[in-house]
Each structure stands twice: as C-alpha cells, then as structure tokens.
C-alpha cells in the first residue's frame, strides 16, 4: 500500500502507528502536539501540518482521537483532502457520530469505517487489540491487511456505528466488572480474608470476570493501579454509552451507578489516573486504608 495517514498520536495512536512502521509502511502523521510525533519522524514518518494535509498525501487515513467532537472535526477536515479514499476511525465516538461521519464522507466519495479498539496500551504495543469494524464491506476487505497489524478483527456489519455500539457495550461491562469486584473485595478484606486467596477462589468460581482474571493480579493486588486505561477515558466512554442507551430507550441502572464511581474516582485521583483506581476509592469508602505503590514505594 502507498503512504498511510495517521492522525492522533496519544498513548494508543502512537503505538498503533509504530506497528505500521514496523510492518514497512510509510506514514504521514499529525497531532496537535508536534513533539509526540518526534519518535515516529525519527523512524521515517513524515509530519503533516494539519489533518487536511494528511488527506492530501494518503489514500488511507486512520485516526485515534480522544473525543467524539475532535473526531468529528478531524473527519470533516479529512473530507476536504484531495487524495484520501478511506477514513478509519479507531477512536470511541458512539454510533450517532459514526453515522454522521459516514454520511459526510460518502458525499465526497470517501468510505468511512468505524473501528474502535479494545485492549489498552499493552495491546496496542503488542498488536493484540480487538478491533470492532463496521462500514462498507469492500473498504474493510481492502484495508484488512493494515488493520490486522493491530490485532484480531471483528467485522460487525455494514451499518455505520455497529462497531461503536459494540465498543461501548464492551467498555461499560469492563468498568462494571472493576466496580463490583472492588466492592466484593473490600467486603472480604474488611472481614479478614486474604485478597490474593480471594482472587484465586473467584477465578475458579462463578464470580470470575475480566477484573478478577486480569486487572486484580496485574494492577490492583500489586497496588500499582496501572492497567493502561485512563479514568477520564473510561468515564467518557461510560457517559457516552449511557447517552446512547437513553437515546435508544434502554435503561442502564447499573451503568449509572458505575458512572458515579468513575466520576468520584476522576475527581479524587485525577483524569490521568488508571481506571482500576476505582478499587482504591471503594476501599476508602469501606474504611480500608491500603497503600498505593509508586516507584517502588508504598504511599
């Protein structure tokens, strides 16, 4: 494939872009923060001055951006590019924005795929993400070899926004798992149970979930709280899921409770904290005073 455009070089985007370079692709990159492009420029990527310039230079443009509003603005800028034929949004925007983008780009004869990813920073780095794609099948078939570099692909259907809906469902379930596991663990610890033994039991019992199998062994029990997904992003996705559910007439009582916990975690520990910090918040609400480990020290 000729040069590929990549817009958005944050924690996820930079790592996905690096995988494209590893595979031998030449990249045209853009980010509002020019310095984050420096490591990719050093590896042969070319810097563009604006999103439209990326779309002037590449037939395929991918984006990994932090909010639906930013994705919308970038997509509309890309639509004015002279060379772009396919735009792939790897961000989490929700189905309504995906439909809006697909319609706007189709008017310019540009195919749009929404392809949100799950798996965190580690998955982006190792190419083990799950990629949930929807949009024109022909565009998916053409770009499949590129998307495969990021991980396992799931084609959700041709209707715009199906990938986004799947991603929102995944992310709210992931946040719910952390919240409810945090509550159960706090109860057990306060009663005198050993937390590691609790996780061992849960993981061979009906209470096991993604939090008990991955987040607790990797980030909560070691007290590092560094699973790789920012609290602010989890809160954004949860709010977005609830908004989309409300628009569809679907009640999400549990989801609303998790949003409250995420809001409190975001306020207490800051937007850049890891979303596993919900467990620490729940511990404190339960009257537990367990440490957080930072740079080899307990605090």
Give Cα 17 distance to the centre of its chain.
15
Question: How would you class 286 by CB atoms within 10 Å of its CB: exposed for 0-12, middle for 13-18, buried for 19 or more?
Answer: middle
CB 252 within 8 A of CB 213: no
- Give the span between the Cα atoms of 96 and 105, in whole angstroms: 14
Known catalytic residue: 167?
yes
> What does the angle CA 148 – CA 10 – CA 243 come to, to the nearest 5 degrees?
85
Quote the CA–CA distance of 10 and 7 in Å, as a whole number: 10
In angstroms, the CA 101 to CA 160 distance is 9
- Catalytic residue among 85, 148, 159, 167, which? 167
Rounded distance, CA 34 to CA 45, Å?
A: 13
Active site residues: 167
């Amino acid at each position: 494939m000729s040069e590929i455009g990549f817009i958005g070089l944050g924690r996820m985007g930079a790592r996905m872009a690096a995988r494209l370079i590893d595979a031998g692709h030449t990249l045209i990159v853009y980010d509002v923060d020019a310095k984050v492009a420096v490591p990719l420029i050093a590896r042969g990527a070319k810097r563009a001055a604006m999103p439209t310039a990326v779309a002037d230079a590449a037939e395929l443009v991918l984006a990994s951006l932090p909010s639906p509003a930013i994705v919308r603005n970038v997509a509309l800028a890309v639509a004015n590019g002279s060379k772009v034929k396919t735009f792939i949004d790897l961000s989490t925007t929700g189905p309504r924005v995906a439909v809006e983008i697909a319609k706007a780009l189709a008017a310019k004869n540009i195919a749009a795929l929404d392809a949100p990813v799950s798996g965190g920073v580690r998955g982006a780095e190792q190419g083990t993400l799950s990629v949930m794609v929807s949009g024109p099948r022909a565009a998916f078939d053409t770009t499949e070899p590129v998307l495969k570099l990021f991980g396992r692909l799931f084609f959700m259907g041709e209707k715009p926004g199906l990938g986004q809906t799947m991603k929102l469902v995944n992310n709210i379930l992931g946040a719910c798992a952390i919240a409810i596991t945090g509550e159960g663990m706090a109860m057990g610890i306060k009663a005198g149970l050993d937390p590691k033994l609790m996780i061992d039991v849960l993981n061979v019992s009906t209470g096991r979930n993604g939090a008990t199998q991955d987040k607790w062994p990797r980030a909560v029990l070691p007290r590092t709280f560094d699973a790789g997904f920012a609290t602010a992003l989890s809160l954004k996705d949860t709010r977005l899921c609830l908004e989309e559910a409300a628009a569809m007439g679907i009640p999400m009582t549990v989801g609303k409770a998790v949003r409250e916990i995420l809001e409190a975690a975001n306020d207490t520990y800051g937007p850049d904290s890891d979303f596993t910090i919900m467990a620490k918040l729940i511990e404190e609400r339960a009257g537990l005073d367990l440490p957080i480990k930072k740079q080899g020290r307990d605090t």
